[in-house]
């Protein structure tokens, strides 16, 4: 599947004079290389839930896994809207990224094998998963895998402040 190319827009209200939009290829590379992400979901009672996790960028989307009985899995079953964030904890350097989209459960074993290979390539053999019957199978049992294809991504450049928004065309 070819990756969709977004339209970039710089928000001058939150950017230094002379700032330019961050190129999508740079943001995508940061999304792919990040080690840790924060997933924000909504609990059934409307309260937010945020948790750190690891993820991989494959075929134009971020992918993560979780146990079927974990809070985030339950939240996503009720409401697929979510946000994944990554970046740095530094004020004057780096690029923070906020990915808005819907988490869709991935069940195709061929697609799951590609995601499993990406996990192991990125995080090492500790994160090896067998694939079968629409699940990742590892030391923790059977895990659900979710795909979050971006609807909108925000990039917050620091050390020369900029705010870029990338909007993705609907498939």
What DSSP state is assigned to residue 31?
Answer: H
**Model confidence band, residue 169 (pLDDT cutoffs 50, 70, 90):** confident
**Arithmetic mean of pLDDT over the chain:** 95
- Integer CA distances (angstroms), 128 to 52, 85, 118, in order: 19, 24, 10
Res 166 pLDDT > 80:
yes
**Model confidence band, residue 7 (pLDDT cutoffs 50, 70, 90):** confident
**Residue pair 152/100 in contact by the 8 Å Cβ criterion:** yes
**Model confidence band, residue 47 (pLDDT cutoffs 50, 70, 90):** very high
- So what's the architecture of 23-152 in CATH? Roll (2.30)
Average pLDDT over residues 24-48: 97
Map tokens 């059977």 to a residue.
142
Res 1 pLDDT > 60:
no
Residue 139 has a pLDDT of 82
- Reported pTM: 0.95
DSSP string of 89-154?
S-SSSEEEEEEEEEEEEE--HHHHHHHHHHHHHHH-GGG--EEETTEEEETTEEEEEEEEEEEEEE
Residue 80 has a pLDDT of 98
CA distance linking residue 10 with residue 112, whole number of Å: 35
Q: Who has greater pLDDT, 61 or 138?
A: 61
**Model confidence band, residue 6 (pLDDT cutoffs 50, 70, 90):** very high
Angle at the Cα of 115 from the Cα atoms of 76 and 64, rounded to 5 degrees: 30
Residue 171 has a pLDDT of 66
């Amino acid at each position: 599947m070819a990756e969709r190319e977004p339209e970039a827009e710089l928000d001058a209200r939150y950017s230094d004079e002379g700032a330019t939009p961050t190129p999508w290829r740079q943001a995508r590379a940061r999304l792919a290389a990040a080690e840790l992400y924060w997933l924000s979901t909504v609990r059934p009672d409307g309260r937010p839930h945020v948790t750190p996790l690891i993820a991989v960028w494959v075929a134009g989307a971020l992918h993560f896994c979780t146990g079927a009985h974990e809070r985030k899995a339950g939240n996503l079953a009720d409401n697929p809207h979510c946000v994944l964030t990554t970046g740095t904890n530094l004020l004057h350097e780096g690029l923070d990224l906020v990915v808005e989209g819907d988490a869709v459960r991935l069940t195709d074993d061929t697609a799951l094998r590609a995601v499993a290979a990406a996990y192991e390539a990125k995080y090492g053999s500790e994160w090896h998963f067998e694939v079968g019957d629409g699940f990742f199978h590892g030391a923790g049992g059977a895990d659900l895998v979710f795909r979050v294809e971006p609807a909108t991504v925000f990039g917050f450049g620091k050390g020369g402040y900029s705010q870029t928004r990338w909007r993705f065309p609907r498939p």
